Each structure stands twice: as structure tokens, then as C-alpha cells.
Chains A and B, each alone.
Chain A
Amino acid sequence: MSGIILWWIGEKDPDAGTLEQVRARLERAFKVPARLRTDPARPSAWDPRRRQHNSTQILHWLGQAAPALGLEQGVRLLGVTDQDLFIPILTFVFGEAQLGGPAAVVSTARLQDETGTLGERLLLERWVKEAAHELGHAYGLIHCATPRCVMARSSSLREVDVKSWEFCRDCRARLDGARPDGE
């Protein structure tokens, strides 16, 4: 079955209720079946110098895992972690995706505020937005200039909060066109 697979690859135990809500929202956003994967395997992408996890290495790991999982073509695998991610050139990233590729990863580490007392609803909103954003890249979408579109670039929490979790009309059209099987 094609669609989206949401795989918790974080270190702490996931909140099953939150994961389920994210899954359901992604299913609505992408109009394809989304399911949760529970597997204890974890990538090894820790960089002791940066004291962060290398998101590009996680993507490679997910990319290699995809065929091993017997996933059919068109399935997108989204790794979700609670660990802080980086790419070599940036201090951090909320997530990373293979543009038009099978894998994406998103982190919740920077979606919390400094005190960790953020309301659950806002945290869920941010999580869904960044997950949808990275999956959008995996479906071949690039950043969008419409500030409310979920594909708008967000380099800060302020920018995450400005956008909605939905696609603008143009990105929606591109997304629908990007799914050859018309899912």
C-alpha cells in the first residue's frame, strides 16, 4: 500500500496519542493513507563535536531502510525524532528531506520553547507543520513564497507559527500532479 509511513526514531518513549494525531493530520493533508511504524531500530548519526544529530546521515539511513522494509514505490518514509538535528552548514534544522525522494526526517527538539512549558496544542501544530513541510519536499515541492502555505520556509519558530499546516492552491496542485497514481 502506498502512502506515508511515520516512524518514531527518537530516544525517549513517544507520546502515542500525539503521534496518532500527527498521523491523522498528515493523512488529511496529503490525502493518502498514513500509518505508524514501531521498530526499535535507530540511526547512529550523533556528532560529538556538534553535540547534535546529523540529519543528512539519518536521511541516508532511512533511504536504505525503505527498500529493506519492502516499501513499494511512491511511499514516503518520515522519521520523527526528539533529537536536535543539524546539517554541516547550519547551526540546526527543524528537519530535512530528500527532494522528490523517499525519505524525510523531522525533529521536535526545537519546537518546544525554552521553558518547555508550551501548550500541547501549539506544540502539536508546530509538529504537524514541520512534518508536512518535510514530506512536501519528499513529494518534490520546493519552498513557497505564500507566507501561510505550509511549504513557506521557516528558519525560526516565529516563521513556523506564522504559517498554517495546509498547502496553498499552487502547492496543492503541484502535490496532486506529483502523485502519478493519483492517490
Chain B
Amino acid sequence: MGNEKTRILVVDDEEIVRESLSGWLLEDGYTVLTAPDGPAAVERLLAEPWSALLVDLKMPGMDGLQVLEEARKRQPDAAVVIMTAYATVDTAVSAMKLGAYDYLVKPFDPEELSLMMQKIVAQQALLRENAVLRKALKREYRFRDLVSKSSAMQAVFELARVAARANSTILVLGESGTGKEVMARAIHAESPRAEGPFVAVSCAALTESLLESELFGHEKGAFTGAVARRKGNFEAASGGTLFLDEVGDITPKLQLELLRVLEERKFQRVGGTEPIEVDVRIIAATNRDLKKAVSEGKFREDLFYRLNVIPVILPPLRERREDLPLLVESLLEQLAIELKRPIDGISNEAMAAVMVHDWPGNVRELRNVLERGAVVCSGSRLQLADLGMGAAAGQPASSASSAVVPASLEEVERRHIGAVLEHTGGNVSQAARILGIDRVTLYSKMKKYDLRRPGDPDAGA
């Protein structure tokens, strides 16, 4: 029947029920395992993925609702069906509130059980298909280690792909944490120099003389302590790419030396006389406004033009909020591998906080917040408290683009609902889920605050 992919865990303290139900399910070709109590079920949840759990409500020790809670935390995609011999409205409501897929009263009508299993199989197939499509979409949205679906970033990716094939100098501009080095590495990896070295140097981290020696190397005896000849970054990057981070911070002397290398493709080691040919592609980056620095006389205009052959500008995260869910997913995938922890995603509440935060530290700040969350979270799904966003959680941080002024609670609610609706592209059901309220409540609040969906007549008024 092709059902073997559907893995079902039957949790019941009565052996006869476990045997009877698993026998019935095996006839449909499902993969079925059983657990005699809550702790054994949790062990199985930790060890293997499940499509569905059929869980008895009343069990000694850990009851069915506790197993349900664990399952929601650890495997939120698994459908949990609560089985009970004592159907009351209260237990049914509690189970559904905790996220049960359905509940069944023992003994089950065979047709009811059969239909429910068919629905679960169909739902699981949709989830699998969804995962495949999301993966395919993510490939579309990916430029090496960078992910984005925003049109601005898609244009940047396109430019970077084209620029990578040429040998021209590239200037990557963007606020701190926007991923300038990641972009430089991506360009290198996409370039014909991909097999060559990628050497990164932070120009702001070193003093003038150290940076000079770092970049160009030195001859033996060039200065006190130069006990041996040393090759610099230009030589180390030969045949590859040299990434000069924070190039806006270099001193006038080094600006001139760098200009010479760029013009003549030659340089000399510190203390040396012999010109050395260079075959490197320069990618420079800065978070400074170089044009302003030029106009203020702090940065050489000729060097600026030499570096600014192909400018690649990375927009700050607050200007591409639509990327946040994608970035969260992508970063959590990376963190799961790095931290060797099973991480399935973040709760709606936590995502809502991520969506409204201004991320002044951009992707780097987001990664740090998620890494903290991934380390401290108890289940596989990050909760709001795990992120440690403190006062910032759920509140926009101050920034030039969205200065926070004292506002009434209603005003904050109005803004937040507006932001979530914008994020969902006007999808009210999705927005209601993120906000944790039902659609009717959301509609009444939209009416109250005169909020319209993007695309509605007079939207954005």
C-alpha cells in the first residue's frame, strides 16, 4: 500500500490494546512500534522520527496529555491522536488545545479509524511535499551560504554571480553584520579562481606597520624582530582572492601603497627592493560611507574609484524583513549541524518577536540570538524565552528608520498587527497564527485599527 514510510507509535499501558491496534495498522503496511508508557514514548520520540502517535490518555505516571506536550515540542510535525475510554468534553478540549490532531473514544468504529489514518497519511504526504518544495525554493533563494528571497538581495546575488566571473575589483558595502565576508567568499567560490586561495585580512584590527607587513610581507631585517623573510597576504592569495575587510579604516600611507598595487599589479616586500608580480583578485569591504570619507579628505579619491569598480551593496536586515523566516530556518539548520542538536524550528511567538525586532547587528546578531536559543532550549523547537531577547522581544529596537517614541498599548498593538500582516503578505489566517489569536479576533482588530491587507483597495493608506 506504500504506507511503510508512515511511522506510527502506539502508546498504551494495556498490552492487548497495543497488540490489537498495531496488528490492525500493520495490515495497512504502516511501520508500527509500541511503547508501554509515557517515558518509553519520549525515548522513542528522541530516537526516531514519527508520522503519528496514537496515545492513550490515562496511563500511570506520565499521562497522554504529557506525552502529547513532549511530542509537540520534539516532533511538531507528528500527528498525535489521543485515545480515551472516558470521553468528556473537557479532555477533548484539553487535548485539542495542546495541539492533538484528533481524539478517539475506545473502542473505535473501524471506519472512523480508517478515515482518520487516511487523513494523517495525506497530511504527512503534504508535509513531505512541502519540505521538498521548500528545499527547491531555498536553492532558488540561495547564493552559496547567503539566502534571501527579497527582490533587493536577489538583484545583489545576480550582480555578484556576474561579477564573480570577471576579474574586476569588487567593493562590498553594508552595515556591520550584513554578511560582507560571506558574500566575498561566495564570489570567490563562484569565480574561476575558486580553486585558488581565499585570504581574508581585517584592516581595522592591525596597526599601520603590522598591516603593511601583513599585506606585503617583509624581508629579513626589515625592522626589529624581522628575523626571517615572510610572505604577505598578497603573495599568499596568489592565484586566488584577497579580501580586504574594513578597507575604509586604512591609513593614508597604506591607501597609497594599495593604490599602487592595484594600478601596477606589483609590490615590494617591506624592506625589499625587488618588485613582485601579483595575480590576485581584490574584494574590499567596508561599513563606512567611503564617498563621505573622500569628500572629507579621509580616503583617497583615486583609490576609491580603483576599489569601487563593481559595488555590491548589502541591504540591512530591517530592510528585508521578508527574509527573516528563511534566514531563521537556514541558520537553525547550520546551528543544528554545528551544535549537533536536533532543532526543528522556532515557536510562532518567538518568530513574531524576531519579525518585529530591528536587528541593528543584522544577520550576525540574528545568528547569535538563534545560537543562544539553540543552546539553551530544552526541546527541539526554540521558544521565545530561549532567545533571550529581553526587553527587545516583541518591541522594535530604536534605529534611524524606526525611532521608538512612547506609545499607547493600542498603538503598539496596531503597529505590530500591521507589521505581521505585511510579513504574511496580507494572509489573515497566517497572521492570526503568528499572533496567537483567531481570525475573527484579528478581523475585528483590523477593523478597529483600520488596518488593510496589502493589495486591498486603499491599502497602505
Q: Does B28 lie within 8 Å of A142, measured CB to CB?
A: yes
**Docked complex: B61-104 residues within 8 A CB-CB of A:** none
Indicate whether A89 reaches chain B with its CB closer than 8 angstroms. yes
Q: Does A89 lie within 8 Å of B24, measured CB to CB?
A: yes
Indicate whether A117 reaches chain B with its CB closer than 8 angstroms. no
Nearest neighbor of B54 in chain A, beta-carbon distance: A89
Q: Does A143 lie within 8 Å of B110, measured CB to CB?
A: no
The interface residues of chain A lying within 8 Å CB-to-CB of B23 are 56, 87, 96, 99
Q: Does A91 lie within 8 Å of B27, measured CB to CB?
A: no
Q: Does A145 lie within 8 Å of B20, measured CB to CB?
A: no
The interface residues of chain A lying within 8 Å CB-to-CB of B111 are 155-156, 159
Interface size on B, residues (CB 8 A): 22
- Return the contact of A88 from the options B27, B107, B113 (Cβ within 8 A): B107
Indicate whether A86 reaches chain B with its CB closer than 8 angstroms. yes
Indicate whether A53 reaches chain B with its CB closer than 8 angstroms. no
Asked whether A89 and B107 contact (CB < 8 A) given A144-B1, A153-B114, the answer is yes
The interface residues of chain A lying within 8 Å CB-to-CB of B16 are 88
The interface residues of chain B lying within 8 Å CB-to-CB of A153 are 27-28, 114
The interface residues of chain B lying within 8 Å CB-to-CB of A92 are 110
Asked whether A90 and B17 contact (CB < 8 A) given A99-B27, A143-B1, A145-B1, the answer is no
Nearest neighbor of B112 in chain A, beta-carbon distance: A155
**B347, chain A: closest CB distance, angstroms:** 34
Query: 1/0 per position for B281-306, CB-CB distance to A under 8 A?
Result: 00000000000000000000000000
Q: Does B27 lie within 8 Å of A142, measured CB to CB?
A: yes
Asked whether A90 and B107 contact (CB < 8 A) given A142-B1, A144-B1, A155-B113, the answer is yes
Indicate whether B2 reaches chain A with its CB closer than 8 angstroms. yes
| Cα–Cα distance between A115 and B265 once the two chains are bound (Å) | 99
Query: 1/0 per position for B21-37, CB-CB distance to A under 8 A?
Result: 10110111100000000
Q: Does B2 lie within 8 Å of A145, measured CB to CB?
A: yes
- Return the contact of A91 from the options B21, B24, B28, B107 (Cβ within 8 A): B107
Asked whether A142 and B17 contact (CB < 8 A) given A89-B108, A91-B109, the answer is no
Interface of A is mostly: loop
Nearest neighbor of A52 in chain B, beta-carbon distance: B107
The interface residues of chain B lying within 8 Å CB-to-CB of A144 are 1
- Return the contact of B29 from the options A88, A91, A96, A143 (Cβ within 8 A): A143
Indicate whether A93 reaches chain B with its CB closer than 8 angstroms. yes
Query: 1/0 per position for A118-161, CB-CB distance to B under 8 A?
Result: 00000000000000000001000011110000000101100100
- For chain A, which range describes its interface: under 10, 10 to 19, 20 to 34, or 35 or more residues? 20 to 34
Indicate whether B128 reaches chain A with its CB closer than 8 angstroms. no
Q: Does B108 lie within 8 Å of A90, measured CB to CB?
A: yes
Nearest neighbor of A136 in chain B, beta-carbon distance: B27
- Return the contact of A99 from the options B20, B21, B26, B108 (Cβ within 8 A): B26
**A135, chain B: closest CB distance, angstroms:** 13
The interface residues of chain A lying within 8 Å CB-to-CB of B20 are 56, 87-90
Q: Which of B16, B26, B109, B110 has the most CB of A within 10 A?
A: B110
**B4, chain A: closest CB distance, angstroms:** 9
| Cα–Cα distance between A130 and B274 once the two chains are bound (Å) | 95
Asked whether A89 and B17 contact (CB < 8 A) given A143-B1, A145-B1, the answer is yes
| Cα–Cα distance between A156 and B114 once the two chains are bound (Å) | 10
The interface residues of chain B lying within 8 Å CB-to-CB of A56 are 19-20, 23
| Cα–Cα distance between A93 and B21 once the two chains are bound (Å) | 12
The interface residues of chain A lying within 8 Å CB-to-CB of B1 are 142-145
Indicate whether B106 reaches chain A with its CB closer than 8 angstroms. yes
| Cα–Cα distance between A145 and B4 once the two chains are bound (Å) | 13
**A29, chain B: closest CB distance, angstroms:** 18
Q: Does B17 lie within 8 Å of A143, measured CB to CB?
A: no
The interface residues of chain A lying within 8 Å CB-to-CB of B107 are 86, 88-91
Contacts A90-B20, A99-B23 aside, 19 further interface pairs with beta carbons under 8 A come to: A56-B19, A88-B107, A89-B20, A89-B21, A89-B24, A90-B108, A90-B113, A92-B110, A142-B1, A142-B27, A142-B28, A143-B27, A143-B28, A145-B1, A153-B27, A155-B110, A155-B111, A155-B113, A156-B111
Please list the 6 inter-chain residue pairs (A to B) with the smallest Cβ-Cβ separation, ordered nearest first: A155-B110, A155-B111, A155-B114, A142-B29, A89-B20, A87-B20
Residues of A within 8 A of B (CB): 56, 86-93, 96, 99, 137, 142-145, 153, 155-156, 159
